[in-house]
Structure 1
Amino acid sequence: MAKFLLSLHVLASVLFIGPVAVAVSMFPRRAKAALAGGPDQASDAGVLRVLHRITQVYALLGVAVPVLGIGLAQVMNVLGQSWLIASMIITAVAALSLLLFVLPGQQAAVDALGLAPEDEQHTKAVSGLRMLPMTAGVFNLLWAVVVVLMVVRPGSSTGA
Structure 2
Amino acid sequence: MAKFLLSLHVLVSVLFIGPVAVAVSMFPRRAKAALAGGPDRASDAGVLRVLHRITQVYALLGVAVPVLGIGLAQVMDVLGQSWVIVSMVLTAIAALSLLLFVLPGQQAAVDALELDPSDERHAKAVGGLKLLPMTAGVFNLLWAVVVVLMVIRPGSSTGV
Give TM-score scaled by structure 1 length. 0.98
Q: In the alignment, is the contact (CA less than 8 A) between 1:81 and 1:156 conserved in 2?
A: no
**Residues in 2 aligned to 1:153 and 1:44: alpha-carbon distance in whole angstroms:** 41
68-77 or 111-120: bigger deviation: 111-120
Compute the RMSD of aligned alpha carbons: 0.8
1:4-83 matches, within 5 Å, as: 4-83=4-83
Tell me which amino acid in the other structure corresponds to 2:114: G
Deviating runs (4+, > 3 A) in structure 1?
Answer: 157-160
Separation of aligned partners in 2, 1:81 and 1:120:
51
1:108 lines up with 2:108 in the alignment: yes
Deviations 1:52-84 (A, max 9, x none): 000000000000000000000000000000000
Aligned partners of 2:60, 2:159: CA distance in 1, in Å?
Answer: 32
Identity over aligned pairs, percent: 89
| Letter in structure 1 aligned against 2:75 | V
Q: Which residue of 2 aligns with 1:146?
A: 146
Q: What's the CA shift string for 1:102-142, capped at 9, x where partnerless?
A: 00000000000031122122111101100000000000000
Q: C-alpha separation between the residues in 2 aligned to 1:62 and 1:54?
A: 11
Give the distance between the partners of 1:25 and 1:64, measured in 2 at CA.
21
Unaligned runs of 5+ in 1: none
How far is the alpha carbon of 1:158 from its aligned partner? 4.4
Deviation digits for residues 23-45 of structure 1 (CA, Å, limit 9, x no counterpart): 00000000000000000000000
* Alpha-carbon distance, 1:157 to partner: 3.4
Counterpart amino acid of 1:77?
A: D
Equivalent residues of 1:83, 1:156 under 8 A apart: no
> How far off its partner does 1:6 sit?
0.4
Distance 2:72 2:158 in 1: 13
Displacement of 1:143 in angstroms is: 0.3
Deviations 1:134-158 (A, max 9, x none): 0000000000000000000112334
Question: What displacement does 1:159 show?
Answer: 3.7
Letter of the 1:14 partner, please give it: V
